[in-house]
Amino acid sequence: MYEEHFGFIASPFSIAPDPHYLYMSERHKEALAHLLYGIKSNGGFVLLTGEVGTGKTTICRCLLEQVPDGTDIAFILNPKLTVEELLGTICDEFGIHYPANRKSIKFFIDQINSFLINSHAKERKAVLIIDEAQNLNIDVLEQLRLLTNLETNERKLLQIILLGQPELRNMLSRPKLRQLAQRITARYHLDSLSEKEVGGYVAHRLSVAGGRGNIFPSSTIKSLFKLSGGTPRLINIICDRALLGAYVLERDQVSQAILKKAAHEVFGESAEVNRHHRKISGWAIAAGLLISGSVLATAYYSHRPDMQVAVVLETMEPATQNVQSEQMEHGDQSKPANQKETPSTSPDITVQQEIDDNVISANDSNEEFPETFPLQWPSDIPLTVSREMAFQALLDLWDIPSAPNQTLPVCQAAELYNLRCLQQKGGLEELLDFNRPAVLTLYSEKGEQFFAALTAYHGQTATFVIGSAKKRVATDDIGLRWRGEYVLLWAKPGGYVSAITPENRTGNADWLDKKLASVQGRPPSPEDRVTYDDAMANQVKQFQFSRNLVPDGIVGPQTIIHLNSACGNSVPMLIQRQTDQ
Protein backbone atom coordinates (compact mmCIF):
# COMPACT_ATOMS: atom_id res chain seq x y z
CA MET A 1 0.00 0.00 0.00
CA TYR A 2 2.77 2.44 0.92
CA GLU A 3 5.37 1.12 -1.55
CA GLU A 4 4.62 3.65 -4.28
CA HIS A 5 4.58 6.53 -1.80
CA PHE A 6 8.15 5.80 -0.67
CA GLY A 7 9.42 4.55 -4.04
CA PHE A 8 9.88 0.94 -2.96
CA ILE A 9 9.97 -1.89 -5.47
CA ALA A 10 8.72 -4.25 -2.75
CA SER A 11 7.74 -4.18 0.89
CA PRO A 12 10.99 -3.74 2.85
CA PHE A 13 9.76 -5.27 6.09
CA SER A 14 7.87 -8.30 4.91
CA ILE A 15 8.26 -11.35 7.16
CA ALA A 16 8.42 -13.62 4.09
CA PRO A 17 11.74 -15.53 3.82
CA ASP A 18 13.11 -13.56 0.87
CA PRO A 19 16.90 -14.16 0.70
CA HIS A 20 17.41 -10.68 -0.75
CA TYR A 21 16.58 -9.18 2.63
CA LEU A 22 18.72 -11.39 4.86
CA TYR A 23 20.83 -9.28 7.23
CA MET A 24 23.49 -11.06 9.23
CA SER A 25 24.87 -9.20 12.23
CA GLU A 26 28.23 -10.13 13.73
CA ARG A 27 26.55 -12.34 16.34
CA HIS A 28 24.45 -14.04 13.65
CA LYS A 29 27.57 -14.86 11.68
CA GLU A 30 29.33 -16.09 14.80
CA ALA A 31 26.39 -18.40 15.42
CA LEU A 32 26.53 -19.67 11.84
CA ALA A 33 30.26 -20.23 12.13
CA HIS A 34 29.70 -22.31 15.28
CA LEU A 35 27.11 -24.46 13.52
CA LEU A 36 29.32 -24.99 10.48
CA TYR A 37 32.28 -25.79 12.71
CA GLY A 38 30.14 -28.29 14.57
CA ILE A 39 29.15 -30.00 11.32
CA LYS A 40 32.74 -30.13 10.10
CA SER A 41 34.05 -31.44 13.42
CA ASN A 42 33.68 -35.00 14.61
CA GLY A 43 31.69 -34.35 17.76
CA GLY A 44 28.16 -35.29 18.74
CA PHE A 45 25.99 -32.28 19.63
CA VAL A 46 25.89 -28.61 18.60
CA LEU A 47 23.65 -26.16 20.48
CA LEU A 48 22.18 -22.84 19.30
CA THR A 49 19.83 -20.95 21.61
CA GLY A 50 18.18 -17.55 21.47
CA GLU A 51 14.99 -15.67 22.27
CA VAL A 52 11.97 -15.83 19.98
CA GLY A 53 12.56 -13.75 16.84
CA THR A 54 16.32 -13.22 17.25
CA GLY A 55 17.16 -14.97 13.99
CA LYS A 56 17.69 -18.67 14.69
CA THR A 57 15.60 -19.38 11.59
CA THR A 58 17.84 -17.11 9.53
CA ILE A 59 20.93 -18.91 10.82
CA CYS A 60 19.48 -22.30 9.98
CA ARG A 61 18.43 -21.13 6.52
CA CYS A 62 22.01 -20.07 5.81
CA LEU A 63 23.30 -23.33 7.24
CA LEU A 64 21.15 -25.36 4.84
CA GLU A 65 22.64 -23.43 1.93
CA GLN A 66 26.22 -24.02 3.02
CA VAL A 67 26.44 -27.55 4.42
CA PRO A 68 29.52 -29.34 3.09
CA ASP A 69 29.41 -31.82 0.24
CA GLY A 70 28.50 -35.37 1.21
CA THR A 71 26.15 -34.37 4.02
CA ASP A 72 22.68 -35.84 4.55
CA ILE A 73 20.28 -33.74 6.61
CA ALA A 74 17.32 -34.87 8.70
CA PHE A 75 15.17 -31.98 9.95
CA ILE A 76 12.57 -32.18 12.72
CA LEU A 77 10.32 -29.12 13.09
CA ASN A 78 7.92 -30.52 15.68
CA PRO A 79 9.85 -32.08 18.57
CA LYS A 80 6.81 -32.86 20.73
CA LEU A 81 7.18 -36.55 20.00
CA THR A 82 7.47 -39.79 21.90
CA VAL A 83 10.67 -41.80 21.56
CA GLU A 84 9.03 -44.10 18.98
CA GLU A 85 7.67 -41.13 17.00
CA LEU A 86 11.04 -39.39 17.08
CA LEU A 87 12.90 -42.46 15.78
CA GLY A 88 10.29 -43.00 13.08
CA THR A 89 10.55 -39.36 12.00
CA ILE A 90 14.34 -39.63 11.80
CA CYS A 91 13.96 -42.67 9.53
CA ASP A 92 11.49 -40.76 7.35
CA GLU A 93 13.77 -37.74 7.07
CA PHE A 94 16.82 -39.78 6.13
CA GLY A 95 14.76 -41.75 3.62
CA ILE A 96 15.09 -45.02 5.54
CA HIS A 97 12.30 -47.36 4.41
CA TYR A 98 10.66 -49.73 6.90
CA PRO A 99 7.53 -51.92 7.03
CA ALA A 100 4.43 -50.24 8.42
CA ASN A 101 4.01 -52.97 11.03
CA ARG A 102 7.56 -52.65 12.40
CA LYS A 103 7.69 -49.61 14.70
CA SER A 104 9.44 -50.72 17.87
CA ILE A 105 12.24 -48.68 19.40
CA LYS A 106 14.77 -51.48 18.82
CA PHE A 107 13.76 -51.85 15.17
CA PHE A 108 14.09 -48.12 14.48
CA ILE A 109 17.49 -47.94 16.21
CA ASP A 110 18.76 -50.89 14.19
CA GLN A 111 17.62 -49.25 10.96
CA ILE A 112 19.20 -45.93 11.86
CA ASN A 113 22.47 -47.58 12.89
CA SER A 114 22.58 -49.52 9.63
CA PHE A 115 21.99 -46.31 7.67
CA LEU A 116 24.78 -44.51 9.57
CA ILE A 117 27.26 -47.32 8.99
CA ASN A 118 26.48 -47.37 5.27
CA SER A 119 26.79 -43.58 5.09
CA HIS A 120 30.18 -43.75 6.77
CA ALA A 121 31.31 -46.40 4.28
CA LYS A 122 30.32 -44.00 1.48
CA GLU A 123 32.26 -41.19 3.23
CA ARG A 124 29.08 -39.25 3.89
CA LYS A 125 28.03 -37.42 7.03
CA ALA A 126 24.63 -37.59 8.68
CA VAL A 127 23.30 -34.54 10.53
CA LEU A 128 20.07 -34.33 12.51
CA ILE A 129 18.67 -30.81 13.13
CA ILE A 130 15.90 -30.34 15.69
CA ASP A 131 14.11 -26.99 15.91
CA GLU A 132 12.30 -25.79 19.06
CA ALA A 133 14.32 -28.37 20.98
CA GLN A 134 13.24 -26.90 24.33
CA ASN A 135 10.02 -28.91 23.79
CA LEU A 136 11.83 -32.26 23.86
CA ASN A 137 11.16 -34.35 26.93
CA ILE A 138 13.89 -35.94 29.01
CA ASP A 139 13.37 -39.46 27.63
CA VAL A 140 13.68 -38.24 24.05
CA LEU A 141 16.84 -36.27 24.84
CA GLU A 142 18.36 -39.36 26.44
CA GLN A 143 17.51 -41.42 23.37
CA LEU A 144 19.20 -38.82 21.19
CA ARG A 145 22.32 -39.16 23.28
CA LEU A 146 22.27 -42.92 22.82
CA LEU A 147 22.03 -42.48 19.05
CA THR A 148 25.40 -40.71 19.11
CA ASN A 149 27.06 -43.72 20.75
CA LEU A 150 27.73 -45.18 17.32
CA GLU A 151 31.22 -43.98 16.41
CA THR A 152 34.52 -44.87 14.83
CA ASN A 153 37.96 -44.15 16.27
CA GLU A 154 37.84 -40.75 14.61
CA ARG A 155 34.27 -39.45 14.83
CA LYS A 156 30.64 -39.85 15.73
CA LEU A 157 28.51 -41.23 12.90
CA LEU A 158 25.57 -38.93 13.75
CA GLN A 159 25.83 -35.26 14.56
CA ILE A 160 22.88 -33.51 16.17
CA ILE A 161 22.13 -29.77 16.10
CA LEU A 162 19.66 -28.51 18.71
CA LEU A 163 17.96 -25.15 18.12
CA GLY A 164 15.88 -23.73 20.93
CA GLN A 165 14.90 -20.96 23.27
CA PRO A 166 16.97 -20.06 26.37
CA GLU A 167 15.18 -22.60 28.55
CA LEU A 168 16.89 -25.33 26.54
CA ARG A 169 20.16 -24.35 28.22
CA ASN A 170 18.50 -24.76 31.61
CA MET A 171 17.21 -28.18 30.64
CA LEU A 172 20.66 -29.36 29.61
CA SER A 173 22.12 -28.20 32.93
CA ARG A 174 20.04 -30.77 34.82
CA PRO A 175 22.01 -33.62 36.46
CA LYS A 176 19.98 -36.20 34.49
CA LEU A 177 21.30 -34.77 31.21
CA ARG A 178 24.92 -34.19 32.23
CA GLN A 179 26.14 -36.95 29.90
CA LEU A 180 24.45 -35.25 26.94
CA ALA A 181 25.73 -31.82 27.99
CA GLN A 182 29.29 -33.17 28.03
CA ARG A 183 28.95 -34.18 24.36
CA ILE A 184 28.14 -30.65 23.14
CA THR A 185 31.18 -29.63 21.09
CA ALA A 186 29.97 -26.17 20.06
CA ARG A 187 27.35 -23.94 21.63
CA TYR A 188 26.21 -20.38 21.02
CA HIS A 189 23.54 -18.13 22.47
CA LEU A 190 22.11 -15.62 19.99
CA ASP A 191 21.40 -12.22 21.50
CA SER A 192 19.28 -9.45 20.01
CA LEU A 193 20.72 -6.76 17.74
CA SER A 194 22.55 -3.80 19.24
CA GLU A 195 21.35 -0.25 18.58
CA LYS A 196 24.01 0.19 15.88
CA GLU A 197 23.00 -3.09 14.26
CA VAL A 198 19.34 -2.09 14.29
CA GLY A 199 20.28 0.95 12.21
CA GLY A 200 22.21 -1.24 9.79
CA TYR A 201 19.37 -3.75 9.62
CA VAL A 202 16.78 -1.08 8.75
CA ALA A 203 19.09 0.65 6.25
CA HIS A 204 19.83 -2.66 4.53
CA ARG A 205 16.20 -3.59 4.07
CA LEU A 206 15.30 -0.11 2.81
CA SER A 207 18.20 -0.22 0.36
CA VAL A 208 17.22 -3.62 -1.03
CA ALA A 209 13.64 -2.42 -1.47
CA GLY A 210 14.90 0.60 -3.42
CA GLY A 211 13.99 3.20 -0.84
CA ARG A 212 15.81 6.29 0.40
CA GLY A 213 18.14 6.11 3.36
CA ASN A 214 16.55 8.85 5.48
CA ILE A 215 13.06 7.44 5.98
CA PHE A 216 14.00 6.41 9.52
CA PRO A 217 16.16 9.21 11.06
CA SER A 218 18.80 8.28 13.64
CA SER A 219 16.61 9.50 16.52
CA THR A 220 13.86 7.16 15.33
CA ILE A 221 16.31 4.25 15.20
CA LYS A 222 17.10 4.79 18.88
CA SER A 223 13.41 4.59 19.73
CA LEU A 224 12.98 1.55 17.49
CA PHE A 225 15.79 -0.21 19.34
CA LYS A 226 14.13 0.47 22.69
CA LEU A 227 10.69 -0.58 21.46
CA SER A 228 11.81 -3.77 19.74
CA GLY A 229 14.58 -4.79 22.10
CA GLY A 230 16.67 -5.41 18.97
CA THR A 231 14.58 -8.41 17.91
CA PRO A 232 14.54 -8.58 14.08
CA ARG A 233 11.02 -9.94 13.79
CA LEU A 234 9.63 -7.21 16.02
CA ILE A 235 11.59 -4.58 14.08
CA ASN A 236 9.89 -5.77 10.89
CA ILE A 237 6.42 -5.64 12.40
CA ILE A 238 6.88 -2.18 13.94
CA CYS A 239 8.55 -0.67 10.86
CA ASP A 240 5.90 -2.04 8.53
CA ARG A 241 3.14 -0.49 10.63
CA ALA A 242 5.12 2.78 10.97
CA LEU A 243 5.53 3.10 7.20
CA LEU A 244 1.82 2.61 6.80
CA GLY A 245 1.21 5.36 9.34
CA ALA A 246 3.58 7.74 7.58
CA TYR A 247 1.86 6.99 4.27
CA VAL A 248 -1.58 7.74 5.72
CA LEU A 249 -0.29 11.04 7.13
CA GLU A 250 1.47 11.81 3.82
CA ARG A 251 4.85 12.08 5.51
CA ASP A 252 8.20 11.30 3.87
CA GLN A 253 9.81 10.26 7.13
CA VAL A 254 8.82 8.15 10.11
CA SER A 255 8.85 10.39 13.16
CA GLN A 256 9.19 9.16 16.73
CA ALA A 257 5.51 9.86 17.30
CA ILE A 258 4.53 7.71 14.31
CA LEU A 259 6.89 4.94 15.42
CA LYS A 260 5.57 4.85 18.98
CA LYS A 261 1.98 4.85 17.78
CA ALA A 262 2.82 1.93 15.48
CA ALA A 263 4.42 0.02 18.37
CA HIS A 264 1.37 0.73 20.53
CA GLU A 265 -0.89 -0.69 17.82
CA VAL A 266 1.29 -3.78 17.56
CA PHE A 267 1.83 -4.50 21.25
CA GLY A 268 -0.95 -2.64 22.97
CA GLU A 269 -0.05 -1.52 26.49
CA SER A 270 3.24 -3.45 26.45
CA ALA A 271 4.87 -1.28 23.78
CA GLU A 272 7.48 0.10 26.16
CA VAL A 273 10.10 -2.65 26.21
CA ASN A 274 13.83 -2.68 26.64
CA ARG A 275 16.74 -4.79 25.55
CA HIS A 276 16.69 -7.16 28.51
CA HIS A 277 13.09 -7.13 29.73
CA ARG A 278 10.70 -7.30 26.77
CA LYS A 279 7.00 -7.39 27.61
CA ILE A 280 5.51 -8.97 24.52
CA SER A 281 1.85 -9.96 24.43
CA GLY A 282 1.01 -13.64 24.22
CA TRP A 283 -0.37 -13.42 20.69
CA ALA A 284 2.87 -11.92 19.44
CA ILE A 285 4.88 -14.82 20.82
CA ALA A 286 2.44 -17.34 19.37
CA ALA A 287 2.55 -15.62 15.99
CA GLY A 288 6.34 -15.60 16.16
CA LEU A 289 6.47 -19.33 16.77
CA LEU A 290 4.10 -20.01 13.87
CA ILE A 291 6.11 -17.75 11.57
CA SER A 292 9.37 -19.35 12.67
CA GLY A 293 8.11 -22.83 11.93
CA SER A 294 6.62 -21.97 8.55
CA VAL A 295 9.62 -19.95 7.39
CA LEU A 296 12.06 -22.65 8.43
CA ALA A 297 9.98 -25.34 6.78
CA THR A 298 9.88 -23.30 3.57
CA ALA A 299 13.64 -22.80 3.68
CA TYR A 300 14.29 -26.48 4.35
CA TYR A 301 11.98 -28.17 1.90
CA SER A 302 12.84 -25.73 -0.86
CA HIS A 303 16.33 -27.22 -0.66
CA ARG A 304 15.25 -30.87 -0.64
CA PRO A 305 12.67 -31.72 -3.33
CA ASP A 306 13.63 -35.37 -2.99
CA MET A 307 13.24 -35.22 0.81
CA GLN A 308 16.99 -35.59 1.31
CA VAL A 309 19.50 -32.77 1.29
CA ALA A 310 23.09 -32.78 0.15
CA VAL A 311 24.09 -29.26 -0.84
CA VAL A 312 27.30 -29.50 -2.84
CA LEU A 313 29.64 -26.68 -1.93
CA GLU A 314 32.03 -27.39 -4.77
CA THR A 315 29.31 -26.86 -7.40
CA MET A 316 27.34 -24.17 -5.60
CA GLU A 317 25.70 -21.62 -7.89
CA PRO A 318 26.29 -17.96 -7.04
CA ALA A 319 23.70 -16.72 -4.57
CA THR A 320 21.01 -14.27 -5.61
CA GLN A 321 22.26 -10.74 -5.23
CA ASN A 322 20.76 -8.54 -2.55
CA VAL A 323 21.04 -5.45 -4.71
CA GLN A 324 21.51 -4.89 -8.41
CA SER A 325 25.14 -3.85 -8.82
CA GLU A 326 26.69 -2.45 -11.95
CA GLN A 327 30.30 -3.50 -12.08
CA MET A 328 32.98 -2.18 -14.35
CA GLU A 329 34.82 -5.43 -13.68
CA HIS A 330 33.13 -8.83 -13.77
CA GLY A 331 34.44 -11.79 -11.84
CA ASP A 332 33.31 -13.31 -8.59
CA GLN A 333 29.78 -12.67 -7.41
CA SER A 334 28.80 -9.74 -5.24
CA LYS A 335 28.90 -10.18 -1.54
CA PRO A 336 25.43 -10.40 -0.01
CA ALA A 337 24.77 -6.94 1.33
CA ASN A 338 23.06 -8.37 4.40
CA GLN A 339 26.25 -9.92 5.60
CA LYS A 340 29.47 -8.85 7.21
CA GLU A 341 32.55 -10.79 8.31
CA THR A 342 32.11 -14.19 9.97
CA PRO A 343 34.12 -14.72 13.15
CA SER A 344 34.66 -18.43 13.55
CA THR A 345 36.31 -20.89 15.87
CA SER A 346 36.98 -23.30 13.05
CA PRO A 347 40.66 -23.94 12.31
CA ASP A 348 39.70 -24.26 8.62
CA ILE A 349 38.16 -20.80 8.37
CA THR A 350 40.13 -17.60 8.37
CA VAL A 351 38.90 -15.23 11.06
CA GLN A 352 38.80 -11.55 10.11
CA GLN A 353 39.51 -9.21 12.98
CA GLU A 354 36.36 -7.39 14.04
CA ILE A 355 36.11 -3.78 12.92
CA ASP A 356 35.65 -1.88 16.14
CA ASP A 357 35.76 1.77 17.03
CA ASN A 358 38.25 0.91 19.77
CA VAL A 359 40.88 -0.38 17.33
CA ILE A 360 40.79 2.50 14.85
CA SER A 361 44.05 4.38 14.87
CA ALA A 362 42.50 7.67 13.78
CA ASN A 363 39.99 7.51 16.62
CA ASP A 364 37.67 10.27 17.66
CA SER A 365 39.62 10.98 20.85
CA ASN A 366 42.51 12.31 18.73
CA GLU A 367 40.64 13.85 15.85
CA GLU A 368 42.44 15.71 13.11
CA PHE A 369 39.16 17.53 12.40
CA PRO A 370 37.38 17.98 15.76
CA GLU A 371 34.37 19.69 14.19
CA THR A 372 31.88 17.85 11.97
CA PHE A 373 30.43 19.42 8.84
CA PRO A 374 27.28 18.74 6.81
CA LEU A 375 27.66 16.42 3.84
CA GLN A 376 26.91 18.97 1.15
CA TRP A 377 28.61 20.47 -1.89
CA PRO A 378 30.18 23.92 -1.31
CA SER A 379 28.14 26.70 -2.85
CA ASP A 380 31.18 28.47 -4.30
CA ILE A 381 32.20 25.54 -6.57
CA PRO A 382 30.12 24.45 -9.58
CA LEU A 383 28.47 21.05 -9.23
CA THR A 384 29.71 20.16 -12.71
CA VAL A 385 33.27 19.68 -11.44
CA SER A 386 32.37 17.52 -8.46
CA ARG A 387 33.03 14.24 -10.29
CA GLU A 388 36.45 15.37 -11.50
CA MET A 389 37.50 16.61 -8.07
CA ALA A 390 36.23 13.52 -6.23
CA PHE A 391 38.02 11.11 -8.53
CA GLN A 392 41.20 13.16 -8.37
CA ALA A 393 41.06 12.85 -4.55
CA LEU A 394 40.70 9.08 -4.92
CA LEU A 395 43.62 8.89 -7.36
CA ASP A 396 45.76 11.01 -5.01
CA LEU A 397 45.39 8.33 -2.33
CA TRP A 398 46.88 5.82 -4.76
CA ASP A 399 49.63 8.26 -5.87
CA ILE A 400 48.21 8.52 -9.40
CA PRO A 401 48.77 12.01 -10.83
CA SER A 402 46.14 12.02 -13.61
CA ALA A 403 43.21 14.39 -13.36
CA PRO A 404 40.41 12.81 -15.43
CA ASN A 405 36.94 14.27 -15.65
CA GLN A 406 34.95 11.11 -16.38
CA THR A 407 34.75 7.63 -14.89
CA LEU A 408 36.25 5.85 -17.91
CA PRO A 409 39.47 7.94 -17.95
CA VAL A 410 39.83 7.21 -14.23
CA CYS A 411 39.87 3.51 -14.93
CA GLN A 412 42.23 3.93 -17.85
CA ALA A 413 44.63 5.90 -15.69
CA ALA A 414 44.35 3.26 -12.96
CA GLU A 415 45.29 0.50 -15.41
CA LEU A 416 48.68 2.13 -15.89
CA TYR A 417 49.34 1.58 -12.20
CA ASN A 418 48.08 -2.02 -12.11
CA LEU A 419 44.73 -0.95 -10.63
CA ARG A 420 41.15 -1.42 -11.71
CA CYS A 421 37.78 0.15 -10.92
CA LEU A 422 34.95 -1.59 -9.13
CA GLN A 423 31.55 0.09 -9.28
CA GLN A 424 28.95 -1.13 -6.81
CA LYS A 425 25.59 -0.34 -5.32
CA GLY A 426 25.18 -1.47 -1.76
CA GLY A 427 25.42 -0.20 1.79
CA LEU A 428 28.00 1.33 4.11
CA GLU A 429 28.70 -1.98 5.82
CA GLU A 430 29.53 -3.61 2.50
CA LEU A 431 31.88 -0.75 1.64
CA LEU A 432 33.53 -1.03 5.05
CA ASP A 433 34.04 -4.74 4.40
CA PHE A 434 36.04 -3.81 1.29
CA ASN A 435 37.89 -1.27 3.44
CA ARG A 436 38.90 0.86 0.46
CA PRO A 437 38.41 4.60 -0.16
CA ALA A 438 35.66 5.27 -2.66
CA VAL A 439 33.88 7.97 -4.61
CA LEU A 440 30.25 8.16 -3.48
CA THR A 441 27.38 9.43 -5.61
CA LEU A 442 25.48 11.84 -3.35
CA TYR A 443 22.34 13.97 -3.57
CA SER A 444 21.66 17.41 -2.16
CA GLU A 445 18.47 18.40 -0.34
CA LYS A 446 17.13 19.53 -3.72
CA GLY A 447 17.97 16.20 -5.30
CA GLU A 448 20.99 17.48 -7.24
CA GLN A 449 23.69 14.88 -7.82
CA PHE A 450 27.26 15.47 -6.71
CA PHE A 451 30.33 13.37 -5.90
CA ALA A 452 32.68 13.21 -2.92
CA ALA A 453 35.54 10.90 -1.93
CA LEU A 454 35.16 8.92 1.29
CA THR A 455 38.76 8.60 2.50
CA ALA A 456 38.54 7.42 6.12
CA TYR A 457 36.03 5.94 8.56
CA HIS A 458 36.23 6.52 12.30
CA GLY A 459 33.05 4.96 13.69
CA GLN A 460 30.82 7.88 14.59
CA THR A 461 32.39 10.09 11.93
CA ALA A 462 33.95 9.73 8.48
CA THR A 463 36.39 11.84 6.47
CA PHE A 464 35.35 13.08 3.03
CA VAL A 465 37.10 15.15 0.41
CA ILE A 466 34.31 17.47 -0.73
CA GLY A 467 35.48 19.70 -3.52
CA SER A 468 38.97 20.80 -2.49
CA ALA A 469 38.41 20.50 1.27
CA LYS A 470 38.83 17.54 3.62
CA LYS A 471 35.99 17.47 6.13
CA ARG A 472 34.83 15.28 9.00
CA VAL A 473 31.16 14.25 8.61
CA ALA A 474 28.83 12.52 11.08
CA THR A 475 28.25 8.93 9.95
CA ASP A 476 24.50 9.31 10.42
CA ASP A 477 24.48 12.03 7.73
CA ILE A 478 25.74 9.68 5.02
CA GLY A 479 22.42 7.89 4.71
CA LEU A 480 20.65 11.22 4.14
CA ARG A 481 22.66 11.95 1.00
CA TRP A 482 23.69 8.54 -0.33
CA ARG A 483 21.70 5.85 -2.16
CA GLY A 484 24.44 3.24 -2.14
CA GLU A 485 26.36 3.96 -5.37
CA TYR A 486 30.14 4.05 -5.18
CA VAL A 487 33.33 3.39 -7.14
CA LEU A 488 36.58 2.15 -5.62
CA LEU A 489 40.00 1.12 -6.91
CA TRP A 490 41.61 -2.25 -6.27
CA ALA A 491 45.08 -3.64 -6.88
CA LYS A 492 45.10 -6.52 -9.34
CA PRO A 493 47.73 -9.29 -9.55
CA GLY A 494 50.44 -8.79 -12.11
CA GLY A 495 49.34 -10.04 -15.48
CA TYR A 496 45.74 -10.32 -14.35
CA VAL A 497 43.28 -10.32 -17.25
CA SER A 498 40.11 -11.90 -15.89
CA ALA A 499 38.86 -13.85 -12.90
CA ILE A 500 41.03 -16.75 -11.71
CA THR A 501 38.97 -19.93 -12.00
CA PRO A 502 39.53 -23.70 -11.78
CA GLU A 503 39.02 -23.83 -15.55
CA ASN A 504 41.85 -21.32 -16.01
CA ARG A 505 44.44 -23.41 -14.18
CA THR A 506 47.58 -21.45 -15.02
CA GLY A 507 46.80 -17.74 -14.90
CA ASN A 508 47.92 -16.16 -11.57
CA ALA A 509 47.84 -19.50 -9.74
CA ASP A 510 51.25 -18.77 -8.21
CA TRP A 511 50.05 -15.37 -6.94
CA LEU A 512 46.95 -17.00 -5.49
CA ASP A 513 48.93 -19.72 -3.72
CA LYS A 514 51.18 -17.13 -2.08
CA LYS A 515 48.18 -15.15 -0.86
CA LEU A 516 46.49 -18.25 0.56
CA ALA A 517 49.77 -19.31 2.17
CA SER A 518 50.03 -15.93 3.89
CA VAL A 519 46.45 -16.16 5.13
CA GLN A 520 46.92 -19.74 6.36
CA GLY A 521 50.35 -19.14 7.88
CA ARG A 522 52.09 -21.76 5.75
CA PRO A 523 54.99 -21.59 3.32
CA PRO A 524 54.08 -21.12 -0.36
CA SER A 525 54.07 -24.16 -2.59
CA PRO A 526 57.01 -24.70 -4.97
CA GLU A 527 56.37 -22.53 -8.03
CA ASP A 528 56.84 -25.39 -10.48
CA ARG A 529 54.05 -27.34 -8.79
CA VAL A 530 51.43 -24.62 -8.46
CA THR A 531 48.20 -25.15 -10.37
CA TYR A 532 44.63 -24.20 -9.60
CA ASP A 533 43.55 -27.72 -8.71
CA ASP A 534 40.63 -28.93 -6.59
CA ALA A 535 42.63 -28.56 -3.38
CA MET A 536 43.37 -24.90 -4.08
CA ALA A 537 39.75 -24.33 -5.13
CA ASN A 538 38.60 -25.66 -1.75
CA GLN A 539 41.02 -23.29 0.01
CA VAL A 540 39.59 -20.40 -1.98
CA LYS A 541 36.04 -21.40 -1.06
CA GLN A 542 36.98 -21.60 2.62
CA PHE A 543 38.46 -18.11 2.42
CA GLN A 544 35.44 -16.76 0.54
CA PHE A 545 33.10 -18.23 3.10
CA SER A 546 35.10 -16.72 5.95
CA ARG A 547 34.63 -13.30 4.32
CA ASN A 548 30.97 -13.96 3.50
CA LEU A 549 31.59 -13.94 -0.22
CA VAL A 550 29.82 -16.47 -2.39
CA PRO A 551 32.05 -19.59 -2.06
CA ASP A 552 32.21 -20.34 -5.77
CA GLY A 553 35.98 -20.67 -6.18
CA ILE A 554 36.05 -17.79 -8.68
CA VAL A 555 38.77 -15.32 -7.72
CA GLY A 556 37.53 -12.02 -9.12
CA PRO A 557 37.73 -8.42 -7.87
CA GLN A 558 36.00 -8.90 -4.54
CA THR A 559 37.96 -11.97 -3.51
CA ILE A 560 41.21 -10.29 -4.60
CA ILE A 561 40.39 -7.22 -2.51
CA HIS A 562 39.80 -9.36 0.57
CA LEU A 563 42.95 -11.42 -0.04
CA ASN A 564 45.01 -8.23 -0.27
CA SER A 565 43.46 -6.95 2.97
CA ALA A 566 44.06 -10.24 4.77
CA CYS A 567 47.72 -10.20 3.70
CA GLY A 568 48.24 -6.63 4.88
CA ASN A 569 49.07 -5.11 1.51
CA SER A 570 50.20 -1.48 1.57
CA VAL A 571 47.14 -0.01 -0.06
CA PRO A 572 44.89 2.89 1.00
CA MET A 573 42.25 1.76 3.50
CA LEU A 574 39.21 3.36 5.04
CA ILE A 575 39.96 1.97 8.47
CA GLN A 576 43.47 1.87 9.88
CA ARG A 577 43.95 -0.41 12.87
CA GLN A 578 46.42 0.20 15.65
CA THR A 579 48.36 -2.84 14.51
CA ASP A 580 48.87 -1.15 11.14
CA GLN A 581 50.71 1.83 12.56
- Residues forming beta bridges with residue 159, ordered by sequence position: 127
Helix (H) or strand (E) holding 285: helix 282-301
Judge whether 74 and 112 are in contact, CB under 8 Å: no
CATH topology for the 26-190 domain: Rossmann fold (3.40.50)
- The overall pTM is greater than 0.75: no
The backbone region for 484, taken as left when phi is positive above 0, alpha when psi lies in -120 to 50, beta otherwise, is left
Statement: 193-278 belongs to CATH 1.10.8.60? yes
Residue 54: the pLDDT is 81
Number of H helices, E strands in the chain: 20, 11
Residue 329: the pLDDT is 40
DSSP state of 309: B
Domain ranges of the chain: 26-190, 193-278, 369-409+420-491
**Backbone phi and psi for residue 119, each to the nearest 5 degrees, phi listed first:** -65, -40
How many Cβ atoms are within 10 Å of 98's Cβ, its own excluded?
Answer: 14
Q: Which of 413, 75, 446, 2 is nearest to 244 (CA)?
A: 2
| pLDDT per residue as tens, the chain (581 positions) | 788 888 888 889 887 656 567 787 888 888 888 888 877 777 688 999 988 878 787 788 788 878 888 889 998 988 888 999 999 999 999 999 888 888 888 999 999 999 999 998 998 989 999 988 999 988 899 899 989 888 877 778 999 999 998 889 888 888 888 888 888 888 888 888 888 899 999 998 998 888 776 899 988 999 999 998 898 889 999 999 999 999 999 898 999 899 999 988 887 654 444 433 343 333 344 444 444 444 444 444 444 433 333 322 222 233 333 333 333 443 444 443 334 333 333 333 222 233 233 333 333 334 444 578 999 999 899 988 999 999 999 999 998 875 544 555 677 778 888 888 998 887 787 788 889 999 999 998 888 999 999 999 988 889 999 999 999 998 888 988 898 899 999 988 887 878 887 766 556 888 898 899 888 888 888 877 678 888 888 888 888 877 767 777 888 888 999 898 888 767 899 987 544 33
Residue 436: the pLDDT is 93
**Cβ-count burial of 562 within 10 angstroms (0-12 exposed, 13-18 middle, 19+ buried)?**
buried
Q: Within 13 Å and on the Cβ side, how many CA atoms surround 84?
A: 6
CA distance 558 to 235: 31
**Backbone phi and psi for residue 281, each to the nearest 5 degrees, phi listed first:** -65, 155
**Backbone phi and psi for residue 311, each to the nearest 5 degrees, phi listed first:** -75, 120
Judge whether 259 and 220 are in contact, CB under 8 Å: yes
CA distance 224 to 234: 9
Three-class secondary structure of residue 339 per DSSP: coil
Residue 343: the pLDDT is 34
β pairing state of 184-190 and 419-425: unpaired
Provide the terminal-to-terminal Cα distance of the chain, rounded to the nearest Å: 52
Contacts 24+ apart (CB under 8 A), 100-109: 105/143, 108/84, 109/146, 109/147
**Backbone phi and psi for residue 451, each to the nearest 5 degrees, phi listed first:** -125, 145
CA distance 565 to 434: 8
DSSP state letters, 114-134: HHHHHHHHTT-EEEEEESSGG
**Backbone phi and psi for residue 45, each to the nearest 5 degrees, phi listed first:** -120, 145
Q: Within 13 Å and on the Cβ side, how many CA atoms surround 182?
A: 5
Q: Within 13 Å and on the Cβ side, how many CA atoms surround 444?
A: 11
Q: Within 13 Å and on the Cβ side, how many CA atoms surround 534?
A: 3
Q: Give 369-409+420-491's CATH code, choosing from 1.20.1280.50, 2.40.30.10, 3.90.70.10, 3.40.50.720.
A: 3.90.70.10
